[in-house]
Amino acid sequence: MELPKAATENSVWRSIFRHGFFATNRNRVLLVMDNVFLHLHSTKVRRRNLEITSTYFLGAIALILFAVLVGTGLLLMLYYHPSVPQAYFDMKELQFVVGNGVFLRNLHRWAAHAMVLIVFLHLLRVFFHRAFRPPREFNWVVGVVLLLLTLLLSYTGYLLPWDQLAFWGVSVGTNMVRAMPVLGAKVRFLLLGGNIVGENALLRFYVLHCVLLPLALIVGVAVHLWRVRKDGGVAGSAGRKRAKLEKETRP
Amino acid sequence: MSEKKSERDQATTRRHFCQATGIAACTVAAGGAAALSVDFLKPRALFEPPTKFDAGPADAIGVGDVITNEMFRAYVVRRQDGFHSMSSVCTHLGCITRYLPSDGIIACPCHGSRYNLDGEVLAGPAPRPLHWLEMDLSPKGDIEVDTSLEVPFGTVFKL
């Protein structure tokens, strides 16, 4: 007990953490409230809300997958040039030459697929638990925007290997944009930086995929988590609560 | 007292004037920044393959002639009342069709679609007629076809 005490009860520890080390209730609360990374969380949660059937931890899994994607994505960026035809060769180099390249690339790919699936399941969970009702209706909207950002991230990443699948996937997708009334052709031109899926399009999708969309997602997730706390924590299952109530009041 | 106050509220004070001026200036600046950004996002020079080709002088094409341009994947047809140009990409699955002078038809080698010289489907799985393309005269006076622009079926180019 002497060493932790000596390590934590001095001005350096205090200047960084602003609260004591020992697990008093006050310190537990301050740990969350005084921490820039944790303050989005509520300081206290209901035990019921930590049960797996309340959330299935889908939001947390999605966040962890996003962290995996940022980590692996940053490493992939070190070997990738967004230019034609170098992008394809870099992808092949990651697969066959770079140490652990194929592992990191596949991790990025599978985490991306999993994130789309998990975010989708997360929205289904919220929907079937009726957790979108007031006061959480705004956070539902934020969640839908986050789903769209996830899909856009997935889609913009699709072009980057610059193989046939990527080229035709984006050709078809941007032709769908062109079908939009009035603005369609103009939006497609801005999106591709030209009339064909070429070098400009690859660079624009790269910037969207690596900078713009991840930043937007991070801001969105911050608002989303903060709103979970402000709206009174996760809603859990209203149905389960009702079933419990019925069981208790049954004669 | 209350009358005096409302009168004072309605009058344009120096504070209101400065606020309005500030908001107006910020709005103009934001609008300018948005316009500038959109303009920046539009490339002025594009390094894309050309979509227009020169089909030669109009006089050199006789009535009933069909010129095939393999590189631009298009036909130019001289008809009684003028010219028309069609994409040679089959509307079924995108194979390149071929003009058969002996039969006077256009045929697709992949799945046997057949078109007449107007591009109408005669046989086979093709769901739509061949796409008609925009035509114009080049500065030299030659027939020019733009493969990136489609025109409605039956739009005959007359000199």
User: Do residues B118 and B70 share a domain?
Assistant: yes
Closest residue of A to B148, CA-based?
A195
Mutate: best of B40, B44, B46, B93, partner A, most A CBs <10 A = B46
B67 with B30, same domain? no
Asked if A194's CB is within 8 angstroms of B48's CB, the reply is yes
Residues of B with CB under 8 A from a CB of A: 38, 41-43, 46-49, 51, 148
Measure B46 CA to nearest chain A CA, in Å. Answer: 7
Q: What residues make up the domain containing B69?
A: 52-151
pTM of the model: 0.80
- B14 and B91 share one domain: no
Q: What is the mean pLDDT of chain A?
A: 90
pLDDT of A243 = 62
Angstroms from A74 CA to nearest CA on chain B: 26
Q: Is there a contact between A40 and A226 (Cβ–Cβ < 8 Å)? A: yes
Two tokens, residue B28: 């103009």
The per-residue pLDDT for range B44-102, each reduced to its tens digit, is: 988 888 889 999 898 888 888 899 999 999 999 999 889 999 999 999 999 999 999 99
Q: Is B82 found in the same domain as B33? A: no
pLDDT of residue A102: 95
Q: Does B34 share its domain with B105? A: no
Question: Domain check: are B67 and B138 in the same one?
Answer: yes
Total number of domains in chain B: 2
Structurally, what CATH architecture does the domain formed by A56-249 represent?
A: Up-down Bundle (1.20)
- My answer on whether B7 and B31 are in the same domain is yes
Nearest to A209 by CA among A85, A42, A117, A87: A87
Within a domain: residue B90? Answer: yes
pLDDT the model gives residue A240: 59
Say yes or no for a CB contact (<8 Å) between B46 and A199.
no
Please check whether residue B82 lies inside any domain of the structure. Answer: yes
Nearest-Cα distance to chain A for B48, in Å, is 8
Contacts of B51 in chain A (CB under 8 A): 195
* Chain A residue nearest residue B43, CA to CA: A193
| B158 in a structural domain | no
Please give the span between the terminal C-alpha atoms of chain B, in angstroms, as a whole number: 83
Domain boundary assignment for chain A: 1-39, 56-249
Least confident of A70-84, A232-246, B42-56, B128-142: A232-246
User: In this structure, are B9 and B86 located in the same domain?
Assistant: no
Write down the ipTM of this complex.
0.70
The answer to the question of residue B157 being in a domain is no
Residue A201: exposed, middle, or buried by beta-carbon count in 10 A (0-12, 13-18, 19+)? buried
Residue of A nearest to B48 (CA): A196
> Token pair for residue A151?
């899909």
Residue A1's pLDDT band (cuts 50, 70, 90): low
Q: Provide the CB-side half-sphere exposure for B123 (13 A, CA).
A: 8
Alpha carbon of A203: minimum distance to chain B alpha carbons (Å)? 12
Quick check: A194 and B43 CB within 8 A? yes
Q: Which residues of B touch A172 (CB under 8 A)?
A: none
Residue A215 main-chain phi, psi, to 5 deg: -60, -45
The pLDDT score that the predictor gives to residue B40 is 93
Do both B76 and B11 map to the same domain?
no
Residues 6+ apart with CB under 8 A from A174: A188, A191, A192, A197, A201
Contacts of B56 (CB under 8 A, 6+ apart): B67, B142, B143
Indicate whether B156 belongs to any domain: no
User: Do B57 and B76 fall into the same domain?
Assistant: yes
Q: How confident is the model at residue A122 (pLDDT cuts 50, 70, 90)?
A: very high
Q: What is the pLDDT of residues A37-69, one digit of tens each?
A: 888 888 888 888 888 888 899 999 999 999 999
pLDDT confidence of residue A174: 93
Query: Residue A82: is its pLDDT beyond 90?
Result: yes
Beta bridge partners of B142: B57
Q: A102 to each of A73, A90, A98, A105, B102, how far by Cα in Å?
A: 13, 12, 8, 5, 56
B47 within some domain: no
What is the C-alpha to C-alpha distance for residues B54 and B142, in angstroms, rounded to an integer? 7
Are residues B133 and B146 in contact, defined by beta-carbon separation less than 8 angstroms? yes
pLDDT at B10: 67
**Predicted local distance difference test score (pLDDT) of residue A165:** 94
pLDDT tens per residue, range A213-239:
999 999 999 999 999 988 888 876 555
Within this chain, do residues B56 and B33 fall inside the same structural domain, yes or no? no
Residues A149, A224 contacting (CB under 8 angstroms):
no
Cβ distance A194 to B38 less than 8 Å, yes or no, reads no
